[in-house]
Amino acid sequence: MIFPMAAMASTAAVLQDRQPGWIYKPSWDLPVLILSAALVPLPFLVAWVAENTGWMKQQQAIDLVNIVVATLIGGPHLFSTVTFTFLDSRFRARYRAYTALALLLPVAVVYLGVTHYQLLIAFFFTWASLHVLHQVIYLSDCYRSRTAVPEPAWSRLVDYGLILTGLYPIGIYKIAQGRFRVGGVGLPFPDFARPLHLPEIALAVFAAFLAAWAVKTTVEIRRNRVNVPKTTLIAITTVVSFLLPLGSNLDVLFQGYNTWHSFQYLFLLWFINRLRDQRGELEDGVVRRLVRRPGMGPYYLCFLAATGVLVLLTAIVRALTPLDADQSYFIVVLSVLLMHYWFDHFLFTHPAMIE
């Protein structure tokens, strides 16, 4: 993360430095939001090296990847959500009910984690996959709003459909075969769904959207109306989503997707807060002081420290309860993570924040 942080250090006036068609500018968007997809295979490679060198057994390698990703990037990204929610009095005042409902999520997580752990993991993975894809949709909307070339509603529908369907053909097939494990448990596939041929249906729907998107993009290129950053992001996301479930160690592979997603989000929220500050939308407080620093380092370190508190809480739960390591970890982490998902559905339906 050193290069993007250094790049942001010189953005004293991001509103004046932005380029049309890009969220910020190509030299920032490409390495931070789009080509950072190169991070996806890193967790798998770390686990593979750890296993094949004899340094660790498979489960130890999985635990290592989970801890490293959660500590260095996953935790800081989810805690950065508070910059536009709990730390913003105007948001709390305007969306009182929405904010209050978020506080019920940790209660539900603790209850399900203790009494229905497999159900909690299945619910978490379903929401997590939709959340990751919703972020890509949000980024595509941001790129759409940053260009002067209008797009018809059907074009947006094709983009959304392709983004939302790529992950599931192979993923559902693996779940149906009982080969998809997350958090130490297999994701359930109900018996009533087996005659429905859901993997084949998911593949057919994905193929239809892919064909429509390919034709649409070809026409846009020929007419010189293609939105380059949006199209590049969707193309890379489609490749990653479709191919990722092909691997055998799915727990680690999806940590790769989480790494890319968290990396995008952390920088995106920092950038949005810089825009909010320059528009006079930030109150005097910790968020404004952090984003006015010349680089992103203090902002990141603040949320890295918050992640450390989460690690400590996990250790306490593990020590004081009969819960195993996976349950302790997920009960603590999901108590915060699901609130992060909840608030991001607000952010991801408001692309005007990036304009």
154-213 pLDDT, tens digit per residue, is 999 999 999 999 999 988 888 877 777 666 667 777 777 777 888 899 999 999 999 999
- In tens, the pLDDT along 93-148 reads 999 999 999 999 999 999 999 998 888 988 888 898 899 999 999 999 999 988 88
CB 156 within 8 A of CB 150: no
- Helix spans in 116-187 (H): 117-145, 153-165, 168-176
Residue 284's pLDDT is 84
> Has residue 2 got a pLDDT over 70?
no
What per-residue confidence (pLDDT) applies to 247?
Answer: 74
Over range 245-273, report the average pLDDT.
88
Mean pLDDT score, 216-220:
96
Measured CA to CA, the distance from residue 151 to residue 21 in angstroms comes to 13
Give me the pLDDT at residue 351, please.
64
Cα–Cα nearest to 278, from 86, 52, 14, 67: 14
Cα 110 to Cα 115: distance, rounded to the nearest angstrom: 9
Residue 26 has pLDDT above 90, yes or no: yes
H or E, element range at 345: helix 325-347
For the chain, the maximum distance between any two Cα atoms, rounded to a whole number of angstroms, is: 64
Q: Are 200 and 274 in contact (CB under 8 A)?
A: no
- Give per-residue pLDDT as tens, 59-92: 788 878 888 888 899 999 999 999 989 999 889 9
Q: How confident is the model at residue 355 (pLDDT cuts 50, 70, 90)?
A: low
**Residue 17 — pLDDT band, cuts 50, 70, 90?**
confident
Residue 186, H or E segment? strand 185-186
Q: Of 330, 343, 246, 268, whose CA–CA distance to 70 is shortest?
A: 330
**Across all residues in the chain, what is the average pLDDT?**
87
**Confidence band for 15, pLDDT divided at 50, 70 and 90:** low
CA distance 15 to 349: 22
* 210 phi/psi in degrees, rounded to 5: -65, -45
Measured from the Cβ of residue 161, the count of other Cβ atoms closer than 10 Å reads: 17
> What is the value of pTM for the model shown?
0.89
Collapsing DSSP to helix, strand or coil, 257 comes out as helix
